[in-house]
Chain A
C-alpha cells in the first residue's frame, strides 16, 4: 500500500500555537518564518489563515486575475514559496525531550513574535493537530 505524502511524528510532540490579533501580511509572515528558522528543536511549522484566491472566484468577473498584493512569493530559509493566505496562526511542532527544552524553545518563539507582531498575539502550548495519518491522508493516494 502507498504511503500518504504528509510526514507525521507518530507521537504527540508538543506544539506551540501562535494566534495573532490581526491577520498578517506577506512581509511580516516572511520575517517571522525566517526568525523561527533560527530556533532549534522545531520539527515543522504549519501556518493557517484566510485564503486568498488566485482569480476572482465568483460573480460577473469570475476568472479575472485577483492580483492580491499579499498573495506572493516569499523567501523562507533561502527557499522560494508561494504564500496563498493572510496568516492568522502558526502551529509549531517541537522535537523536545523534556519540559526545560520546551520552555526554552517556547521562550525563543515568543521573542521572535514580540519582535515582528505589532498588534499582539496569544501563545499556547499543547497539542492542536493530529500526529499520525488518518483515513483523510489516503485520499487520492
Chain B
C-alpha cells in the first residue's frame, strides 16, 4: 500500500493555509524582493562582501573521521565549507500574522535540511550554516509568510507579538527596529535584528490589507475563524489530547487506538 503524506486536517481557511505552507511541493508566493546585501545587513552577522568565517576546515580536505552516517548524508553548502552557525528570528503578531511560530517550525522542518529551529510563544529562531542561512532568510523575507507590519525580524527583545498594534497598524517593538514611512506608505527597517542602527534604511514594502491577511493566515482566532467551527480539526485536537492524557496517566485504558 502506498502512503501519501498528510499534513493537517480540516477544511477551514487556516487549516488549508497550514497544509499549504507545510507541503514542500507548494511554491510559496514571492511578494517582495529585498536585495541580498540588505538581508545580510538586517541580520548583522557579517558585513556584506566580507568572507564567511569558518569553524572547521572544508569537508573536502578529508579530515573527517571514518563514519558510515557521514558518508550517507550529503552536507549542505555551508557545512561543506565549514561555516559558522548563525540565526535569524521572526516574531509573528497574534493579529493575523500570515504564519505563527509553531507552524513556522512545521514549515521549516518540512521544507529544509540542515537546520535547527526553536519555537517560543511569539517568535521562531532558525539556526543554519551562515551561507545557507542567508539564502533561507531572503526566501522567508521575500515570500508570503512575511508581512511587513505583522512580522518582525528580531534577534532579542521580541516582546510585542501579543500587544495591540500601533496607530499605523505595526506590531509593537520597544526597540523600534522598523518605522512607518508615511510618504511611501511602507515599512522601513532602521535597525538590524539586535537594534544596531543601520547606515541606510531598508524597505520591506507595504503591509498587506487586513482582510487579505486574515484570509491567508494560519491563525485560528475567535474573531476570525474559530478552531471549534472546524469539526475535523477539533476532532483531532480531542483525540491527541485524549491519547496524550491516557498515555501519561492511564495507558491501560487505551481501547482500539
> Which residues of A pack against B, CB within 8 Å?
20-25, 28, 50-53, 56-61, 64, 66-70, 86, 88, 118-119
**A60-B163 contact in complex given A23-B172, A66-B176, A69-B179, C-beta closer than 8 Å:** no
B175 contacts which of A20, A60, A66 (Cβ < 8 Å)? Answer: A66
Query: How many Å lie between the Cα of A81 and that of B43 in the bound state?
Result: 36
What number of B residues sit within 8 Å (CB to CB) of A? 20
A59 contacts which of B164, B194, B197 (Cβ < 8 Å)? Answer: B194
Instruction: Name the CB-closest residue of A to B157.
Output: A58
Query: How many Å lie between the Cα of A79 and that of B76 in the bound state?
Result: 61
Which A residues lie within 8 Å of B176 (CB)?
66-70
Query: How many Å lie between the Cα of A69 and that of B182 in the bound state?
Result: 14
Which B residues lie within 8 Å of A24 (CB)?
167
Interface code B189-213, partner A: CB below 8 Å = 1, 0 otherwise? 0000011110000000000000000
Residue pair B164, A57 in contact (C-beta under 8 Å): no
Residue pair B156, A58 in contact (C-beta under 8 Å): yes
Chain A nearest Cβ from B149, distance in angstroms: 12
Within 8 Å of chain A (Cβ to Cβ): is B51?
no
Query: How many Å lie between the Cα of A50 and that of B176 in the bound state?
Result: 12
Within 8 Å of chain A (Cβ to Cβ): is B26?
no
A25 contacts which of B155, B166, B197 (Cβ < 8 Å)? Answer: B166
Chain A nearest Cβ from B219, distance in angstroms: 18
Residue pair B195, A61 in contact (C-beta under 8 Å): yes
In order of increasing CB-CB distance, the 4 nearest A-B pairs are: A59-B156, A59-B194, A68-B176, A23-B166
Instruction: Name the CB-closest residue of B to A118.
Output: B167
Which A residues lie within 8 Å of B1 (CB)?
none
Q: What are 19 A-B contacts defined by CB distance under 8 Å? A: A22-B165, A23-B167, A25-B166, A25-B167, A51-B174, A53-B175, A56-B175, A57-B157, A58-B156, A59-B194, A59-B195, A60-B194, A68-B175, A68-B176, A69-B176, A70-B176, A86-B166, A86-B172, A88-B163
